[in-house]
Amino acid sequence: MSEGLIVIIGSGELGPSMKTTYRHLFEHVAASSVTILDSPYGFQENADELTTRIEKHFRDSFGVKTKVASLRWADAKGVERRRFLESVEQSEVVFAGPGSPSYAIRVWSGLGMREALSKVVDRGGGVVMASAAAVTLGAKVDPGL
């Protein structure tokens, strides 16, 4: 088993300059799929279109299967929250990107995301936190950003 990787990208996560980074990630962790988290942009009217664009990018550029772990609202019910977390924990590679860091933090608050993402990396998988989602990695992130 390879060591897991955490990739932090400031912006441009779907741009051509990132292809080498993603290729390295998928090869290093021997992943054939990526799980896309829609929480950071779940409030946006174009959330479904963003998800489709991200899925297409990973399928077309890297030939990997895509899954979506959807949790768009902080008031989601317990079953929906558990399914989301289980999907994250079972992923080979997790991708979270554009949107709002403060919104993502509100949705993920009290969920156990740090532990779920740690499980992915500990198992030898990859976690990509880009753009807005990258800001959520801090130990002391203010949800009022």
Under 8 Å between Cβ of 133 and 71: no
**142: pLDDT strictly greater than 90:** no
Report the pLDDT value the prediction gives residue 2, as an integer from 0 to 100.
67
* Within-domain flag for 140: no
Whole-model pTM? 0.94
Q: In whole angstroms, how far apart are CA 41 and each of 2, 14, 31, 131?
A: 31, 15, 25, 11
* Within-domain flag for 15: yes
* Within-domain flag for 18: yes
* Within-domain flag for 143: no
Report the pLDDT value the prediction gives residue 140, as an integer from 0 to 100.
72
Provide the residue range defining the domain that includes 66: 5-135
Of the pLDDT bands very low, low, confident and very high (cuts 50, 70, 90), residue 145 is very low
Overall domain count for the chain: 1
* Within-domain flag for 27: yes
* Within-domain flag for 145: no
Q: What is the pLDDT of residues 9-40, one digit of tens each?
A: 999 999 999 999 999 999 999 999 999 999 99
Q: What is the pLDDT of residues 82-132, one digit of tens each?
A: 999 999 999 999 999 999 999 999 999 999 999 999 999 999 999 999 999
**143: pLDDT strictly greater than 90:** no
* Within-domain flag for 142: no
* Within-domain flag for 144: no
CATH number, residue 110 = 3.40.50.880
Q: What is the pLDDT of residues 55-84, one digit of tens each?
A: 999 999 999 999 999 999 999 999 999 999
Q: In whole angstroms, how far apart are CA 145 and each of 67, 100, 133, 135?
A: 29, 9, 13, 10
